[in-house]
């Protein structure tokens, strides 16, 4: 077995099909002379399911994250976000095999599992760096919480029956105040996630930008906005707000927001690296994932067609 190459496997162990896929990946890695690396909790879940993955190195015990070559993820976008959390700050790219529903972050489907592993082993992929967010919560003059996000940071009301009163800000200047259910600050990668469901625009992932999308805002001016990558966006929870708000980063990390709290969001210096197996345009991915109607499209006309 090779001691030089380390491939992390992250899977959704709450589903039997994902466990079966994990067993298959481990078999392929063993056949290539490698010992798979897994997070301990996932390895324990698979053992409890009475599945056998053979010899495995445990992430953070046998192998540190900075020694990983690539991460193979089995599941939906939530599992990919978990993998990004595990390897953030390293050079290891992530390649996802979709076992969920839409799976926008995934690069292949279940029937392409073997091919995905083979291409990961041979290095037959190219790497994209995706913008991430640095998120700080300020109370008074003190940063009381810091986190990050690949998809989005969401400021939401904590109580269903109460409205959240906020004022939004761009680069230190106030933009608008309103009552709302929340505000989403998104990356281009996250523009097809929560931001999209809130009415935000879809932004191609190679665009350097940040998005801010109000959710159910009671205001004349509460439109989604797109700003440059060097801008700082802020959302202040006004002191007249009843109760507290809550911050969610990628739906995984959370912090309560008392009245007067301020959430500052800017581009993080640490991108997430995504391994791409296909050169298909992002437009084609949108059509496939959202099953958009394109029947009747003929494409750009040729000179011969123009003369008809």
The verdict on 14 and 122 lying in the same domain is yes
The answer to the question of residue 188 being in a domain is: yes
CB 179 within 8 A of CB 124: no
CA–CA separation, 84 vs 116, rounded Å?
A: 18
Q: What is the pLDDT averaged over residues 278-284?
A: 89
The answer to the question of residue 122 being in a domain is: yes
State what percent of residues in the chain have pLDDT above 70.
96
Residues whose CB is less than 8 angstroms from the CB of residue 260 and which lie 6 or more positions away in sequence, other chains included: 139, 140, 236, 237, 238, 239
Q: Report helix, strand or coil for 110.
A: helix
Q: What is the pLDDT of residue 300?
A: 86
Q: What is the pLDDT averaged over residues 259-286?
A: 94
Q: What is the pLDDT of residue 3?
A: 67
Whether 137 has a pLDDT exceeding 90, the answer reads: yes
57, 77, 230, 303: the active-site residue: 77
Mean pLDDT taken over the chain: 93
How many CB atoms neighbour CB 175 within 10 A? 16
Structure tokens at 282: 């992002």
Confidence band, pLDDT 50/70/90 cuts, at residue 152: very high
State the total domains in the chain: 2
DSSP 122: H
Which structural domain, as residue segments, surrounds residue 231? 133-267
The answer to the question of residue 279 being in a domain is: no
The verdict on 228 and 141 lying in the same domain is yes
CB 101 within 8 A of CB 80: no
pTM of the model: 0.91
Look-up of token digits 């839409």: 102
The answer to the question of residue 59 being in a domain is: yes
Parallel/antiparallel/unpaired status of strands 94-98 and 70-75: parallel
Q: What is the pLDDT of residue 1?
A: 56
Does 77 participate in catalysis according to the annotation? yes
């Amino acid at each position: 077995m090779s001691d030089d190459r380390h491939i992390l496997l992250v899977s959704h162990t709450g589903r039997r099909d994902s466990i079966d896929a994990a067993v298959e990946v481990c078999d392929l890695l063993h056949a290539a002379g490698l010992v798979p690396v897994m997070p301990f909790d996932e390895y324990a879940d698979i053992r409890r399911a009475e599945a056998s993955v053979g010899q495995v190195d445990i992430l953070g015990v046998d192998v540190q994250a900075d020694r990983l070559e690539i991460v193979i993820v089995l599941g939906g976008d939530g599992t990919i976000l978990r993998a990004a959390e595990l390897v953030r700050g390293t050079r290891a790219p992530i390649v996802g095999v979709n076992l969920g529903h839409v799976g926008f972050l995934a690069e292949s489907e279940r029937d392409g599992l073997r091919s995905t592993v083979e291409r990961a082993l041979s290095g037959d992929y190219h790497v994209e760096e995706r913008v991430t967010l640095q998120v700080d919560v300020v109370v008074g003059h003190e940063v009381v919480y810091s986190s990050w996000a690949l998809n989005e940071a969401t400021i939401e009301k904590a109580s269903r029956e109460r409205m959240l009163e906020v004022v939004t800000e761009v680069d230190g200047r106030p933009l608008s105040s309103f009552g709302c259910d929340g505000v989403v600050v998104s990356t281009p990668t996250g523009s097809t996630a929560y931001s999209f469901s809130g009415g935000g625009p879809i932004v191609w992932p190679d665009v350097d930008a940040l998005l801010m999308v109000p959710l159910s805002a009671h205001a004349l001016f509460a439109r989604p906005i797109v700003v440059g990558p060097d801008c700082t966006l802020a959302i202040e929870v006004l002191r007249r707000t009843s109760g507290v708000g809550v911050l969610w980063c990628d739906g995984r990390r959370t912090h309560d927001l008392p009245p007067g709290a301020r959430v500052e969001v800017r581009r993080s210096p640490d991108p997430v690296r995504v391994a791409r197996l296909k050169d298909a345009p992002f437009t084609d991915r949108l059509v496939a994932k959202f099953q958009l109607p394109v029947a009747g499209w003929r494409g750009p006309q040729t000179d011969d067609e123009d003369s008809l």
